[in-house]
Amino acid sequence: MDTHSVEDARAWPGLDVFDHHGERVGRLTAIYAEKDTVRQFGVVRTGLFGLRSVLVPLAGAFEEGGALILNLDKQAIKGSPHLRRDEPLAPDMEDALYSHYGIEAPPATGGRPRLELLQLEHAD
């Protein structure tokens, strides 16, 4: 179960993201949430120029010293499904995301996304 609330997570975009070993992964730019649960996924901009964005589960994540620490290692994050800038989150991308992290996906919603982008007051 997550140790943070939706309101906590809403303040995280813009934070630098580190894996559980302390290696920098990138910067959190957005958050997706499942419609009927508290499960959340973050969009982390990675790579040398921040051109690649990956989706990561936020379960077990916490803020420390102005950084977001994920309960994952860098290799798992690097292998995660990635989004291109302004690309919508399609159902097949959601399936790949759940599969990559070994998370049981909620039931399909007739071709509509299971995850929705949270509206944030401030984003990178």
- pLDDT (tens digit, 9 = 90+) per residue, 71-91? 999 999 988 988 876 677 888
In the prediction, which pLDDT does 1 show? 35
Evaluate if residue 116 carries a pLDDT over 70: yes
In the prediction, which pLDDT does 5 show? 58
Highest mean pLDDT among 48-62, 77-91, 107-121: 48-62
Q: Of 120, 117, 119, 41, nearest to 81 (Cα)?
A: 41
pLDDT interval class at 50 (50, 70, 90): low
Please list, residue by residue across 67-99, b when 16 or more beta carbons sit within 10 angstroms of its beta carbon and e when fewer do: ebbbebebebbeebbbbeeeeebebebbeebbe
pLDDT interval class at 34 (50, 70, 90): confident
In the prediction, which pLDDT does 37 show? 72
In the prediction, which pLDDT does 38 show? 76
Q: How far is CA 112 from CA 7, 17, 62, 86, 119, in A?
A: 25, 29, 30, 17, 18
